[in-house]
Structure 1
Amino acid sequence: MSTTECKIASSVVPDELCLNALPRFLGRHYMEGESLVYDWAARLCRSYEGGHWNFFTLSNDGFYMTPSNMGRVHVRWHMNGYGDMMGADAFGITVTLFALCHLAEKTLDDLIIGRYHRLREFASQHVEAANILRAID
């Protein structure tokens, strides 16, 4: 059975382990990757004002981040005409996908490219998959 046929599970990373999450998933690019997540959050959501983020690991060895201080938000991306509401979890997945894509294009690092594809696979199973996939298209 392929991983696309299996449900991918997500688990929140406890706060005391968050410092190790990005180095684990992004290797030497972890500082730039974190900065890109926050930058993309601001680009995609006018109401984003920073704050605490939660980290999630995926059973397929992927990860993503979500803002912990947001509910449903309006997300807009002018480059593809996307504009709609989504929950904080879907927003975090979308932002992390944009950041990973940006970082993968910049670094051409197979580790980062793999993380993007693992998260996209999870995104396709998410309850808000249609919105996430439209936003990143």
Structure 2
Amino acid sequence: FGTVPDWQRIEGDIFNMMDKMCEVYQGAFWEFSMLSNGGAFIWPDMLETSLQMFNPHNGNEAELSPEAAGIAVCLMVYSIWSFKTESSVLVEYFYQLRDYAMQHPEQAQIFHLID
């Protein structure tokens, strides 16, 4: 992410988006996952195995595992930042994570939440 303008703020925006979308989220240690296609995302390591998520941007709700919630939140933040910074790097990270999400067992819930 080093070539993305203000890239240090992306992580904080992911945490803030999670806070807005998940009522039980009160902060957590976040795990980092590298994908075989070169992508990456983070997800909250929480005791809860199922999180009720609400997207204030479209009104959709979904119940997701912490990993799937991290995927959804990262997809949203990557998209917002790609438009804000016009960074081709973030566009690539978005599509790499989207490809991974399309193969995820919770793909229907992830895409319902963010679409």
For normalisation by structure 2, the TM-score amounts to 0.91
Q: How does 1:1-137 map to 2 (within 5 A)?
A: 26-28=1-3, 29-69=6-46, 70-137=48-115
Q: CA deviation at 1:47?
A: 1.1
Distance 2:109 2:99 in 1: 14
Aligned residues: percent identity? 28
Corresponding pairs, count? 112
Runs of 4 or more above 6 Å deviation:
none
Distance 2:62 2:87 in 1: 32
Letter in 2 for 1:74: Q
Structure 1 unmatched ranges of 5 or more: 1-25
Please tell me whether Structure 1 or Structure 2 has the larger radius of gyration of its CA atoms.
1
Q: CA deviation at 1:97?
A: 0.7
Aligned-residue CA RMSD (Å) = 1.2
Distance 2:59 2:31 in 1: 28
Distance 2:22 2:109 in 1: 14
Q: CA deviation at 1:127?
A: 0.2
